[in-house]
């Protein structure tokens, strides 16, 4: 192998636009190898990304829908068959909705996409992480959950009501950070560190695309939010910066911050672990 080959490999979910795309560009510019797991294609007019695709520094894997377990399973199997290691896993794919919707598995869509799927991706790619040198997982969370007044795993799966941003989106991000905290001791036994990171307020609005934001916050974002490179930098620092030896923590503005409802953390982890075992793994036996 040429001595000019990049040393480290990162996998980023949701890297075709927004923060994920900015993070991929940042890593590529620093000579990393980057793997992406996306629904959409890499922008055709992004020459950095397109050139990296051509020379193999960037390798893309497609998934029709991250919340469709058959589609997700196929994509993850392809990654495992073609890749030998991952140094950092960035569980970044996300997004907000403007109405209550349910996944194919019958759970509220934010919870399925933002809480359950990152766990499945981690579990399926854990062996590649243990083969890597940095053995780090970064889950993209959000400080919006600071406004959450009540929390239960039952309400995560089947909410009694819906609010843009501050409803299922916020509680699902909180649940993500809670299971991140709960699973840390278990992963530490395998040498893996895991953190959840708030990437700040970034302008990731796309014309004609439902953002799931309230009207007032959408206007604020247009006028005052940082570009996606800001969030990418915070995720990068969350992985490799001053907190790189911490595990299980939630990082806000590059500092360790407290979580709410931590007494629910183990229950959240137990529930998504059960979903993974019963529906994803058993589904593989039934439908494989």
Q: Which CATH number belongs to the domain containing residue 30 in this structure?
A: 3.40.50.720
pLDDT recorded at residue 67: 96
pLDDT at 247: 98
Query: Do the domain assignments include residue 174?
Result: yes
The predicted structure's pLDDT at residue 4: 41
Domain assignment present for residue 260? The answer is yes
9 and 85 Cβ atoms separated by less than 8 Å? yes
The per-residue pLDDT for 96 is 83
- Determine, yes or no, domain membership for 127: yes
Domain-embedded: residue 62? yes
- Residue 214 buriedness (CB in 10 A; 0-12 / 13-18 / 19+): middle
The structural domain count of the chain equals: 1
Residue 211 belongs to a domain = no
Task: Using a pLDDT cut of 90, give the percent of the chain over it.
Answer: 78
Specify the 3-state DSSP secondary structure of 197: strand
pLDDT in tens, 101-135: 999 999 999 999 999 999 999 999 999 999 999 99
Please check whether residue 47 lies inside any domain of the structure: yes
What is the Cα–Cα distance from 99 to 83, expressed in whole angstroms?
Answer: 38
Based on its alpha-carbon atoms, the radius of gyration of the chain, rounded to whole angstroms, reads 18
pLDDT of residue 288: 42
Identify the pLDDT of residue 200.
87
- The candidate with the shortest Cα–Cα distance to 27, out of 14, 13, 42, 10, is 10
Q: How confident is the model at residue 166 (pLDDT cuts 50, 70, 90)?
A: confident
Asked whether residue 2 carries a pLDDT value surpassing 60, the answer given is no
pLDDT at 140: 97
Tell whether 269 is covered by a domain. yes
Would residue 221 count as lying in a domain? Answer: no
Q: How confident is the model at residue 201 (pLDDT cuts 50, 70, 90)?
A: confident
Enclosing domain of residue 86: 9-200+227-287
């Amino acid at each position: 192998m040429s001595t000019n080959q990049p040393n480290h490999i990162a996998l980023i979910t949701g890297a075709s636009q927004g923060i994920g795309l900015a993070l991929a560009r940042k890593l590529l510019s620093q000579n990393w190898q980057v793997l992406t797991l996306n629904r959409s294609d890499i922008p055709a007019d992004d020459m950095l990304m397109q050139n990296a695709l051509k020379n193999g520094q960037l390798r893309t894997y497609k998934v029709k829908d991250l919340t469709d377990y058959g589609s997700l399973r196929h994509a993850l199997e392809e990654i495992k068959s073609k890749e030998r290691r991952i140094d950092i896993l960035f569980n970044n794919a996300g997004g907000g909705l403007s109405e209550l919707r349910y996944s194919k598995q019958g759970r509220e869509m934010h919870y399925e996409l933002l809480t359950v799927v990152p766990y499945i991706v981690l579990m399926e790619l854990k062996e590649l992480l243990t083969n890597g040198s940095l053995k780090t997982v970064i889950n993209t969370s959000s400080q919006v959950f600071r406004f959450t007044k009540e929390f239960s795993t039952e309400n995560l799966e089947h909410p009694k009501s819906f609010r843009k941003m501050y409803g299922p989106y916020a509680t699902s991000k909180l649940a993500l950070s809670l299971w991140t905290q709960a699973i840390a001791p278990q992963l530490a036994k395998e040498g893996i560190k895991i953190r959840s990171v708030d990437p700040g307020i970034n302008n990731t609005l796309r014309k004609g695309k439902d953002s799931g934001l309230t009207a007032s916050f959408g206007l604020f974002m247009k006028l005052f939010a940082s570009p996606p490179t800001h969030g990418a930098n915070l995720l990068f620092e969350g992985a490799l910066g001053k907190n790189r030896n911490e595990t299980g923590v939630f990082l806000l503005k590059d500092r360790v911050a407290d979580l709410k409802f931590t007494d629910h953390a183990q229950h959240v982890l137990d529930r998504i672990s059960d979903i993974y075992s019963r529906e994803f793994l058993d589904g593989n036996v039934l439908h494989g």
